[in-house]
Amino acid sequence: MSGETYLLEMRNISKSFPGVQALDNVNFRVKRGTVHALVGENGAGKSTLMKCLFGIYKEDSGEIYLEGVKTSFSNPRAALENGVSMVHQELNQVLQRNIMDNILLGRYPRKGIVVDEKKMYDFTKSIFDDLGINIDPRVKLGDLSVSQRQMVEIAKAVSYDAKILVLDEPTSSLTQQETEHLFKIIKLLRDRGCGIIYISHKIEEILNISDEVTVMRDGQWIATENAKDLTTDKIISLMVGRELTNRFPPKTNKPKDVILEVKNLTGKYQPSIQNVSFELRKGEILGVAGLVGSRRTELLETIFGIASHSEGEILLHGKLVDNKDSATAIKNGFALLTEERRATGIFEGLSVRFNSVIANIDNYANFGVLDGKKMKEDTSKVIEGLNVKTPSQNTPIGTLSGGNQQKVIIGRWLLTDPEVLLMDEPTRGIDVGAKYEIYQLIIDLANRGKGVIFVSSEMSELLGICDRILVMSNGRIGGIEDADKLDQEKIMTLAAKYL
């Protein structure tokens, strides 16, 4: 160790789980008043390292020093009380309560035996004013957008007078404008001497906001370098252990005849989609672009039957289909990969096997008894066919990396043999290596004659793997064009058409 004093030092941290060495003698150091990015592929050990810091996990060996003092937190509350805050990628909030309740949960100010709501309001308002957050603290949290809830969670972390603030994929649900606001908050906290640990798969963002970057791979420390000395290619090479010459696989699919027709589809409950019409061909990857609030998700949910429509028709192979609910949609040959993986995609505490077979469960029932052997065989197909990294079929899916969780969900739907696969932000929160694998899976699906509708906020990936791109604008279609005739500027112009 050098003579320099670090705000945080994690020395030789190791942590194992059954069948997995998650961390192997990792060293990680953060200077006061800096933004330190922590990057690596899913499964590299980033989140495990931070959970050891935050008291969620207990390291098997190693030492943690905060401001030069050896420490170890037995739980997250102890970490918070000692100035270590963490904003998780998947928000855990009490949506039925108001903002100030969420900010001060477990530490309400009191006036005698009664909670002092005025003090709660004043405290929350002062933090919001300081951070430039213009939201009434009395608003119910469930009424906010995901991005606003993210800001509330950051404000809560700051309210503990954090010395160390861990941000895990903080911009995954934010618009460009909201991201810029977040960066202003990060710089404000950095300038006050806070150490920010910034976890993200968006490499351009990392190079923009970070002072230092630490790269992890396979549970080990690989490198720590000044951000100004790094490039996107250098970071990717350190992350994956090899040169990644192409971000996208070659487009080998050949779209054929029309498989799906959507005619004048309008959502029943407004605001929603309005008079949406388009065609999807067999073997085609149709991208869906648009700004936040453009109703991209509502389009997929309406086609799949979990959002009602008041007008319009859906035809599969020229025949009218009535997807009145998700069960009917599955029987009709549709599958939906949802945007919020943790909330609506996985059964977090249940096994990889359960999560693999659940959408196809009727096919395993024989006179009321489930065929365990067939379920095991099909789960093996998912794990082997999609290269899922898991210790066993019985491992809880919540312990896998985001990329591996996503592969299991894709495998789940492939077992139902859908004809139309609806994918909502399938690569959100996934590292560059796993993204490439998922892009390849999507192209393979198209090669097998499936029709794929692919929603993404990342215009580069839409341009990289899609055949055509449909641009949503305020619930309407702003335009549909061949991907090779579009660029990011043209997409943004179409996305603003009905604003």
- The CA distance from 260 to 281, in Å, is 7
pLDDT value of residue 182: 86
- The CA distance from 363 to 356, in Å, is 13
Instruction: Indicate if 258-495 has the same CATH topology as 8-240.
Output: yes
Domain coordinates in residue numbering, the chain: 8-240, 258-495
Three-state DSSP at 320 gives strand
pLDDT value of residue 2: 42
- The CA distance from 68 to 5, in Å, is 7
User: What residues are paired with 65 via a beta bridge?
Assistant: 9, 70
Please, what is the angle between helix 402-414 and helix 432-447, to 10°?
10
Residue that is written with structure tokens 């289909």 in the block:
321
pLDDT value of residue 4: 56
* Residue 168 CA, distance from chain mean position: 10
Find out whether 37 and 214 touch, Cβ atoms under 8 Å. Answer: yes
- The CA distance from 95 to 297, in Å, is 21
- The CA distance from 388 to 399, in Å, is 13
- The CA distance from 148 to 139, in Å, is 11
Q: Which CATH class is domain 8-240?
A: alpha beta
Q: What is the phi/psi pair of residue 459, to 5°? A: -60, -30
- The CA distance from 336 to 306, in Å, is 10
Q: Could you tell me how many residues make up the chain?
A: 499
Domain 258-495 has CATH 3.40.50.300: yes
- The CA distance from 132 to 36, in Å, is 23
pLDDT value of residue 1: 39
Three-state DSSP at 280 gives strand
How would DSSP label each residue in 332-379? TTEEEE-S-IIIII--TTSBHHHHHHGGGGGGGEETTEE-HHHHHHHH
Find out whether 472 and 495 touch, Cβ atoms under 8 Å. Answer: yes
Residue 140, Cβ neighbours under 10 Å: how many?
14
Of 265, 203, 152, residue with least CA distance to 460: 203
Query: pLDDT in tens for each of the 499 residues of the chain?
Result: 344 579 999 999 999 887 678 899 999 999 999 999 999 877 788 889 999 999 999 999 999 999 999 998 999 989 988 999 988 866 677 788 899 998 888 888 888 888 888 999 999 999 999 888 888 999 998 888 777 888 888 888 888 888 999 998 888 767 677 788 889 889 989 998 999 999 987 888 899 999 999 999 888 999 999 999 998 888 888 887 766 567 788 989 999 999 999 999 999 887 899 999 999 999 999 999 987 778 999 999 999 999 999 999 999 999 999 999 988 999 999 999 887 776 777 888 899 999 999 988 888 888 778 888 899 999 998 898 888 888 899 999 988 877 788 889 888 888 888 899 999 988 876 767 778 888 988 998 899 999 999 999 888 889 999 999 999 999 999 999 999 999 888 998 898 888 7
Kindly report whether the peptide bond that precedes residue 271 is cis, defined as omega within 30 degrees of 0.
Answer: yes
- Which run of H or of E encompasses 22? strand 20-30
Residue that is written with structure tokens 């994690």 in the block:
10
In a 13 Å sphere around the CA of 213, the CA atoms on its Cβ side amount to 27
Find out whether 116 and 197 touch, Cβ atoms under 8 Å. Answer: no
